[in-house]
Amino acid sequence: MFQPSHQPTHRPVARMSSRVAGLLLLVAIVMGGGHAAAQDEPGDSEPPAGIELIIVGKLETGIVAIGGETTGTVVRASGVTWEVEWEAEREEALSTFAERISGNQVAVSGSLRLVKGVERGDRWILTAHSLAAAPAGVAPARGIVQARIQGRLNNQVVAIGGETTGTVVDAGDFSWELELGRDLDLRKAAEALDGQSVTVEGNIEVAIRTVERGRRPIVGVGRLIASAPAESIPAVSGVIIVPENTAAFADRTLEVRLFEFDPLLADVGATEIDVWEMANFEHMGADSEQLAFELGKGFQPRLDRSYYITVFSLHDGVRTQIGELDGQAGLAKVLQGTFSSRVTMILRELR
C-alpha cells in the first residue's frame, strides 16, 4: 500500500439570507479559480492537521490478515484498498449494514489515521461515521476518493530524480503531494498561501510507479483555501453569469436555494437547507457579468441524501429568469459524494 511522505448525521444549518450590495468579489474559492485569504500572523500556532475522506468503491467484509492486523472491512477504490473501522458510537449499526451490502458499490466517509503494525507495517485506516449504498452514476466503476486535508502548504519540495509535483500539504507527521494542474488561478492561490495553514479538497489518485519512489498518492486539487473553521466553509459555492446581450433590467431579487431530498422516497418533498439572496439585482449593459455566491456554511452533506440548487431572479415575487447549471436545462445536482461543490449557473429569461 502507498504511504505519504514522513515529515519532522446531518447537522441542521439555520436558514440564512446574505444580502449583498452591488457586484460581489470575483470568484475567490478554487475549483476553477483561486482563493487567497489573509496571511497567517507571525507566531501563529500550527494548524489543526488531519484528513477526511469520502470513498466511493466496492465494500468487502470478512477480510483476514497475518497476525490479525486488519479491521476485517475494506473499500477498494482508485487502485487502493482502504481499511475501514466504524465509529464507536455507531459501530453496531454500521457493521450490520456493511455485512448486508458487502460486495456492492458504497459511499463511506470518515477520518483517516495511521496505525503501526508488527506484520504489515504502517496501515492507513478510515474511521467511518457514515455508510450508504452509492447512488448510480456518482463515480466510475473503479471508484473515487475525495479528500479534505488540513495542514500547512509547502511549495518548495524537491525529490530524487525530480519525482515530485513540488507542492505538498504537511498534515501532522505526513505530507500529501498535490497536483495543481494547469489552472493559473489555482497556482497563483498556492503561491499566495505558501507556508500558511490551508484546507485542500481534491481526488486522491495513485501515481504510476516511478524509479526512485515507487507508486505514490497524489491529490488532484479542486479547491484550496486558507484554513478556516469548518462552520465557515460553504458546501456549495459558485458564480452566476448574466450572459452578454441580456436585456437590461432592474429592481429584481436574485435567489439561490439549496435543497436536500431522499432519493428513495418519491412522495416526500425536498427540504430547504439554505438560501442566498441579493436585493436590488440589476443589469444595465450589454456586457456579461458574474456574481459569486456561497451556500450552506458548515453544512455536512449526508451520503444517503441527494442535493440540488435552484437559481431564480424575481420581480415583485414573480420569477422572471432562471439559472441553469453550465447552461443546461434540468436539475442542478450538487454534493454528489463530495465535501463541497463548485458550480457555474447561467441566467436566462423564463419563457
CA–CA dist 245, 229 (Å, integer): 41
CA–CA dist 2, 351 (Å, integer): 54
| pLDDT above 90 coverage of the chain, percent | 56
pLDDT band at residue 37 using 50, 70 and 90 as cut-offs: very low
CA–CA dist 248, 211 (Å, integer): 60
- Whether the per-residue pLDDT at 2 is higher than 60: the answer is no
Per-residue model confidence as pLDDT tens digits over 292-329: 999 999 998 988 899 999 999 999 999 999 999 999 99
Backbone angles phi, psi at 68, to 5 degrees: 70, 20
Q: What is the pLDDT of residue 196?
A: 93
Q: How many CA atoms lie within 13 A of 335 on its CB side?
A: 24
What are the residues facing 99 on neighbouring strands?
Answer: none
Q: Degrees (nearest 5) of the Cα angle 266, 272, 278? A: 140
pLDDT band at residue 231 using 50, 70 and 90 as cut-offs: confident
CA–CA dist 222, 207 (Å, integer): 17
- Whether the per-residue pLDDT at 134 is higher than 90: the answer is no
CA–CA dist 214, 135 (Å, integer): 34
Q: What is the pLDDT of residue 91?
A: 93
User: Is the model more confident about 41 or about 63?
Assistant: 63
Q: Are 270 and 260 spatial neighbours (Cβ–Cβ below 8 Å)? A: yes
Q: What is the pLDDT of residue 266?
A: 83
pLDDT band at residue 43 using 50, 70 and 90 as cut-offs: very low
| pLDDT above 70 coverage of the chain, percent | 83
Pick the CATH number of 236-349 from 1.10.10, 2.60.40, 2.30.30, 2.30.320: 2.60.40
User: What 3-state DSSP class applies to 212?
Assistant: coil
User: Is the model more confident about 211 or about 206?
Assistant: 206
CA–CA dist 287, 242 (Å, integer): 8
| Among the ranges given (136-140, 168-172, 345-349), the one the predictor scored with the smallest mean pLDDT | 136-140
Give the H or E element holding residue 99.
Answer: helix 91-101
CA–CA dist 105, 75 (Å, integer): 9
- Whether the per-residue pLDDT at 234 is higher than 80: the answer is yes
Q: What is the pLDDT of residue 87?
A: 94
| Among the ranges given (164-173, 202-211, 245-254, 338-347), the one the predictor scored with the smallest mean pLDDT | 202-211
Per-residue model confidence as pLDDT tens digits over 63-77: 988 878 899 999 999
Q: Which three cell numbers, joined as nine digits, stand for 317? A: 415575487
341-349 and 236-242 strand pairing: parallel
Q: What is the pLDDT of residue 47?
A: 47
Q: What is the pLDDT of residue 30?
A: 27
Nearest-CA neighbor of 16 among 276, 278, 280? 276
Q: What is the pLDDT of residue 26?
A: 25
- Whether the per-residue pLDDT at 24 is higher than 80: the answer is no
CA–CA dist 216, 146 (Å, integer): 16
Domain boundaries, the chain: 51-144, 236-349
Per-residue model confidence as pLDDT tens digits over 118-132: 777 778 899 999 999
What are the residues facing 106 on neighbouring strands?
Answer: 57, 133
Backbone angles phi, psi at 276, to 5 degrees: -115, 135
Per-residue model confidence as pLDDT tens digits over 269-286: 999 999 999 999 999 877
249-261 and 197-206 strand pairing: unpaired
**For 51-144, CATH number?**
2.40.50
Per the listing, cell 455507531 goes with 90
- Whether the per-residue pLDDT at 25 is higher than 50: the answer is no
**Dihedral angle sign, alpha carbons of residues 136, 137, 142, 145:** negative
What is the maximum alpha-carbon separation in the chain?
72
**Mean pLDDT confidence for 43-62:** 79
Q: How many CA atoms lie within 13 A of 332 on its CB side?
A: 26
| Segment of 211-215, 235-239, 264-268, 281-285 carrying the highest mean pLDDT | 235-239
Q: What is the pLDDT of residue 21?
A: 31
Taking residue 263's Cβ as centre, other Cβ atoms within 10 Å add up to: 10
Q: What is the pLDDT of residue 158?
A: 75
Q: Are 342 and 32 spatial neighbours (Cβ–Cβ below 8 Å)? A: yes
Q: Are 123 and 115 spatial neighbours (Cβ–Cβ below 8 Å)? A: yes
Taking residue 169's Cβ as centre, other Cβ atoms within 10 Å add up to: 29
- Whether the per-residue pLDDT at 291 is higher than 90: the answer is yes
**Mean pLDDT confidence for 90-105:** 94
Q: What is the pLDDT of residue 113?
A: 87
